[in-house]
Structure 1
Amino acid sequence: MNKARLEAFSDGVLAIIITIMVLEIKVPHGAEWSDLLKQYPVFFSYILSFMYVGIYWCNHHHLLHTVKRVTSGIMWANMHLLFWLSLVPFVTGWMGENHFAPHTVTAYALVMILCGSAFSVLQIAIKKANPNEGRLGLALAKLRTKAYISVVGYLIAIALAFVNTFFSGVILLLVAVIWFIPSKAVEQALEEEQQG
């Protein structure tokens, strides 16, 4: 399979995921600002999930720069990642509609853990098929610290969900923020790869 085809398919699936999420936001039945404010949990869950899907898209884009040869292992690892990401609209809607109830926050955090695990599996499949991935591959490997912090953050969010869901939401947002800040090593490796 051509790498471009893998990228195009993944981009299409991620675009559909974002579209489904926004379609889940229901229009308020009233025309007052107060009617709109009642929707704040839905908007917050949408913004949070949009950030996460955007982060996965950016990191997936960077990761695919390391691919010189696409194998069936890479294709299935990519499908595995897309499967878990495709559940994001469901847990987003469930969490937002139920005002961050403990079980909905738990389900959301579990899906995020599974997305992160699937991304790691994809990284391993790519590294196995493309052992000489260069500086970009090394830069991406350094992101493991963020991955470990993320898992700890998700587990804390799950534990806090049964104490105070507000704090769970804050933890989920903080995990997204640490990924939102771009890695300088990845950016420099991409620039060097394009120049060389």
Structure 2
Amino acid sequence: METDRFEALIDAILAIIITILVLELPFASTGTWDALYELRYDFLLYAMSFIVCFDFWNYNNNLFSIVNKIDSKVVWSMGITLFVFSFLPYITLFVGEHFFLFFPQFVYGLYFITIVILLIINSKLLKKTDPANIALYIILNKQYSLYGTIPLILIGIFIGYFIYPPAITVCCFISLFGVWIIPKIQYHLK
């Protein structure tokens, strides 16, 4: 199976998710700076969620540019990943509404971990589907950043449970920049 139409589907779903994210941003109750300041956590979470969407698109765009073929297992695995990914606007709104409570923060961290686990599963299925693709093997074998996300967010969950719930969002944020984006920049600079 060729990947062009599948990539277009991924792009369309991510465009819809980003649209829903921006539509879910709450409006300021009045036209003052104070009213905007009250929404700072909503805007922070929107920015993080946008970066997650963009990074997911970039990851898949780069990955599928070297994939030669896919099968039904890859399609269904990516479908499940996109299904879980589609909850991002809801989870973002949930955390924004209850920023200092543990449970919404926990759901946000668990969401990040779930997406990472699904990406790892997708990587394994892609390697099985296209075993002769050496470039794919090289790229997918250097995914230490995905594995590093899980313990980092688990640390945030631990800190969030016992001390400060927003530590989970902070660890998710650190995982975005420290574990996903910076290693990619360093990889491209070499």
Matches within 5 A, 1:5-84: 5-84=5-84
Q: Which residue of 2 aligns with 1:160?
A: 159
Is contact 1:69-1:130 (8 Å) kept? yes
**Bigger shift: residues 159-168 or 35-44:** 159-168
Measure, in 1, the Cα distance between the counterparts of 2:67 and 2:77: 13
Where structure 1 has 5 or more consecutive residues not aligned to the other structure, the ranges are: 190-196
Q: What is the CA-CA distance between 1:188 and the residue it aligns to?
A: 8.2
Q: Indicate the larger mover: 71-80 or 130-139.
A: 130-139
* Structure 1 consecutive aligned stretches of length 4 or more whose deviation exceeds 4 Å: 184-189
Aligned equivalents of 1:117 and 1:167: distance in 2? 21
Which stretch of the first structure deviates more once superposed, 168-177 or 30-39? Answer: 168-177
What's the CA shift for 1:104? 0.5
> Whole-Å Cα distance in 2 between the matches of residues 160 and 20 of structure 1?
31
Q: Deviations over 1:21-71 (max 9, x none)?
A: 111101112011000000011111111111111111111112212321121
CA positional deviation for 1:19: 0.9
Measured in 2, the distance between the counterparts of 1:45 and 1:121 equals 27
Identity %: 27
Letter in 2 for 1:183: K
Shift, 1:20, TM fit: 0.8
SS, match of residue 117 in structure 2: helix
Q: Which moved more, 1:171-180 or 1:4-13?
A: 171-180
What is the alpha-carbon distance in structure 1 between the residues aligned to residue 10 and residue 128 of structure 2? 20
5 Å-filtered alignment, 1:97-136, equals 97-136=97-136
**Alignment TM-score, normalising by the size of structure 1:** 0.88
Q: Alpha carbons of 1:134 and 1:188: their partners in 2 closer, same or farther (altered >3 Å)? A: farther
Q: Which residue of 2 aligns with 1:192?
A: none
State yes or no: 1:175 paired with 2:158: no
Cα deviation for residue 135 of structure 1 reads 2.9
Give the total of aligned pairs: 188
RMSD: 1.9
Distance of 1:168 and 1:125 partners within structure 2: 30
Q: Is the 8 A contact 1:136 1:186 kept in 2?
A: no
1:184 to 1:167, Cα distance in 2 relative to 1, 3 A: closer
Change (3 A) 1:113 1:180: same
On the 8 A contact 2:77/2:122 being kept in 1, the answer is: yes
Distance 1:150 1:176 in 2: 8
* Structure 2 letter corresponding to 1:133: N
What is the CA–CA distance in structure 1 between the aligned matches of 2:127 and 2:186, rounded to whole Å? Answer: 18
